[in-house]
Structure 1
């Protein structure tokens, strides 16, 4: 009963803090983690301990799969080079910089333990940056690179952490063996994800029920992660691989109804899990501080400040040179995929850390020297990146002028796609004009389809969009009038609730479609 009460109380706190974040326009993650810290110091509240193993297994798979399902595979492949430079190169570089600083602060700390600390805080969390990025109309390439990095960087950081902890236990690990182990763990995770995706492709079409299909998508996320971890390979890579492969085939594997309902279900779960993650991070502060009595305050302050600064500056030190240095070479400077310097600054500053870093810190073995101090330093670094970078990222985006102008009206590319769809539908109707059975009905419909094709042809050619907007507004007004009449009919003539719900569901889907088109048409 106590667990249920705590869970409901945390969900209530998450909802209240989410409303506060929207009202204050502060990053969602910052408000949640600060709110969790405040709750941790309220007298009489039960202590909430975050089991690191449970945290990774419970929260990480669905959040990773949700990101994988949103990933545009074509854009991901087109930006694979900068994504891997961040997901692997930046993680290793940051871990090395943090390890050096940690060794300077604590000379008796083994190098392997210092590298483990670096691996803990190295991977940024795109969920933490999402609350800012979603509010800003950024160039699509920046969003693609950051989302792609978030899919892969946890894998490289967790593998590096595992190798470093193993080196502490045995005393040392040969660099060659570590590199081979890293590749084996990554390839093994990919193979597990591939196997899970192939199994899902065979099972999903046979379920033939939306609730079962949605439940199975969650099962694939957890299954890929847990199987990979049992085999001692990368669970993160397994989840990402399975998620991307299933997402690419979702239109063949899932019905339209399942895709619509799955989107709502996954959005809700992502909100709940993300909210709980960050508020639980804040709740850990009280317990961490209680275990630091042996360390003088100056040591804690200097160490926390040095590590936080290193974490922020090392990412900028890795990202920005890849935007500026290649321009010294004309052959590279002509490359259209070369990152713009302003974009690189935004990517470098969007380095907020999150739950993976804290859960990994709490997973440090008890025999690690200065374990409590390392956990404290990791926590402060997470908080520093969230507060410092999270609260200034939007300002920096505006200051650098990276925000793309809001497009008014439907883009010609979208209008062209809609024209092709309308012409295909028109061709199907016109093909039935000579049919003895369907011809009469087709002649009644052909005018409407020709008109739709004509409108989108004009928009695609750069013509006025006023007619398109007027049509959509009239259809939306007519739809709402029909809904009001249906509700009035139910009150007057006693239409069954089941039939009312079914008919209203149709109008809801149609209204959503019209509203989306109207928003895109400006």
Structure 2
């Protein structure tokens, strides 16, 4: 009963603070930490110690899966180099350098123990970076910070595991590298398999509540086997979430996606708030332990302040050259933008000119592309667009196809070859389109000094740091002191950096910033949605599932609703004759075609991810409304 009461009170506090804090202009996580600290020092409240496994195995997999499931994988791919650098290189550098500092200033610990503490305080927290998402900061900055928070836990936990082992036995550098690669690669494999399996199960359930229930299980199904195989369960959960983010629109119904999104949002709110509240509640117990051993808190406070300053300084020193690299990358992208665009036009024209009537790329077409792309202007396209490998493959396969045709293939075999060649021609064009879209993304979302300041200042530590610290063995040297130092770094960066981050973002003029492609992208996506509907409805061969044609009045009615030629009309205004099986069937078929077109646009990356997400959400809402209307009238 007591545990239940504590849980209910904590939930009420989280809900109240989450609702009221934005009105006061304060981030809810900061308020919850302060409330937890205040409550922990109330004499009637006993010292609280939470089992770290509850956080590491019971809470983080769910939270990181939910964050990954809503993460824009298209932007993740584009900035993977920067995200990977901050998630791996920065964590390793910070852990090692802080290890030397800790072994120098903390009595009684060696370099291995220092690196263990350095690994604990090195990773930023994906939960803590949720603060910046509410400020309207540039989307690319949010993507980099959130991606870093999703992946750097694996690096820190593997380093921590190796450092703890090194305090007892000798561990080689290659042993640490091998452990890290195994932990990540095996976890990614498990996460991808579990993610796809979860989507397959949910696709066949056809029940929104059960589908959401399966999504609650998926992160733990990925986490547990990964941990049993000494891989990173956190990475496995994140990989499963990224698979869900990429493929859910193709495999799940709108009802499943909406129910999953709303339920997970509720769980995230409670779990995130509960974690920050728990951080504060543990302070009193940590303080007691340190006072028993050292008699004073000044050593812990001083080392924590030193460590917090060091992590910010090291982060700044790492981000500066990273921004220079990204700036040079953007300059190169600007140089090749016109060349890539011309290369795409040349490719399309020549492939069309030299292809057979059935769309097969002939050897002559491939050789002509080779010649064109070797001229002075096309050389950068040749190198940058990864064209050389594709052209050589086209040459080889085109010649092989010609030989097979000369040997007298059957009509079915020739037809299969033709389909394959047509698909390869489409893939060739698609590669160019995606490359141009990647370049446009880099040009439209530059990362300058202002964005660099936000990236540095938003690198807060959080509950992962505290949970990792509590996994230290009970006989670890100076354990209580190290745990309190970790808490000091986490709480200090969260309160100082998190508390001033809104001011920093506004002062730099980055609050509420939208992409320069926003208006153009909104118009372009509207054209894709409306154009797809027009093309489908104008098709003279349009027919129902049973092969019969649609009534012309139904087609016109759907056209007026979908293409919004009559903005004041919707499904509810249709006459009884029009509200029929034909109307709803054609309406749903049109939505399916529009969704397919948007997913293709997402695959090539032509438009910003946030605009595509909103457009897909609008189609989901339209489909749910149509299905409900059809069910009621049926």
Tell me by how many angstroms 1:198 deviates.
Answer: 3.4
User: Given that residues 128 and 460 in structure 2 are in contact (C-alpha distance below 8 angstroms), is that contact kept between their aligned partners in structure 1?
Assistant: yes
Query: In the alignment, what sits opposite 1:13?
Result: 13
Q: How far, CA to CA, are the matches of 1:105 and 1:121 in structure 2?
A: 16
2:143 matched to which residue of 1? 144
Which residue is 1:466 aligned to? none
Describe how 1:74-93 pairs up with structure 2 within 5 A: 74-93=74-93
Q: In 2, are the aligned partners of 1:201 and 1:253 still within 8 Å (CA)? A: yes
Unaligned runs of 5+ residues in structure 1 are 456-470, 480-507, 514-522
How far did residue 276 of structure 1 move? Answer: 0.6
- 1:361 maps to what in 2? 469
Cα deviations across residues 350-392 of structure 1 (Å, max 9, x unaligned)?
1111111100111111121111100111001111101110011
Which has the larger Rg? 2
Cα distance in 2 between the residues matched to 1:279 and 1:181: 34
CA contact (8 A) 1:128 1:354 kept: yes
1:70 aligns with 2:70: yes
Query: 1:131-210, aligned counterparts within 5 Å?
Result: 131=131, 133-170=132-169, 172-210=170-208
Per the alignment, residue 601 of structure 2 pairs with: none
Q: Deviation at 1:346?
A: 1.0
In the alignment, structure 1 residue 388 sits paired with structure 2 residue 496: yes
Equivalent in 255, 258, 264 of residue 256 of structure 2: 258
The equivalent of 2:104 in structure 1 is: 104
1:155-182 CA distance string (max 9 Å, x none):
1111111111111122x21112111121
Matching of residues 83-482 of structure 1 within 5 Å: 83-131=83-131, 133-170=132-169, 172-293=170-291, 294-295=293-294, 296-324=296-324, 334=332, 337=442, 339-403=447-511, 405=513, 411-431=519-539, 438-442=550-554, 444-445=556-557, 448-449=560-561, 452=564, 471=567
| Distance of 2:301 and 2:541 partners within structure 1 | 81
1:116-150 deviations in whole A, cap 9, x for unaligned? 1011111111321222x233222221111111111
The answer to whether the 8 Å contact 2:52/2:470 transfers is yes
Task: Report the Cα distance in structure 2 between the residues aligned to 1:438 and 1:236, rounded to whole angstroms.
Answer: 51
* 1:136 partner SS: coil
Deviates more, 1:12-21 or 1:346-355: 12-21
How far residue 509 of structure 1 moved from its aligned partner, in angstroms, is 5.3
Cα offsets for 1:383-435 (capped at 9, x unmatched): 11011100111211122233354689982322222222223323433447998
Contact 2:158–2:183 under 8 Å retained in 1: yes
Closer, same or farther: CA 355–331 of 1 in aligned 2, 3 Å: closer
Q: What displacement does 1:348 show?
A: 0.9
User: Does the aligned pair in 1 maintain the 2:137–2:513 contact within 8 Å?
Assistant: no
CA pair 102-445 structure 1, distance change in 2 beyond 3 A: same
- Inter-partner Cα distance in structure 2 for 1:18 and 1:178: 41
TM-score scaled by length of structure 2? 0.68
**Equivalent in the alignment of 1:35:** 35
Question: Separation in 2 of the partners of 1:325 and 1:71?
Answer: 24
Note the C-alpha offset of 1:111: 1.0
Secondary structure (helix, strand or coil) at the match of 1:249 reads helix
CA deviation after TM superposition for structure 1 residue 24, in Å: 2.0
Aligned to 2:50: 50
Q: Report the Cα distance in structure 2 between the residues aligned to 1:326 and 1:211, rounded to whole angstroms.
A: 44
TM-score (norm 1): 0.82
Aligned mates of 2:458, 2:310 — CA distance in 1: 15
Number of residue-to-residue matches in the alignment? 463
Alpha-carbon distance in structure 1 between the residues aligned to 2:558 and 2:259: 33
Unpaired runs of 5+ residues, structure 2, are 335-441, 574-619, 626-634
Q: CA RMSD in A?
A: 2.9
The separation in 1 between residues aligned to 2:511 and 2:34, in whole angstroms, is 28
SS of the residue corresponding to residue 129 of structure 2 reads helix
Select between 239-248 and 379-388 the one with higher mean Cα deviation.
239-248
Q: 8 Å contact 1:189–1:237 — kept in the other structure? A: yes
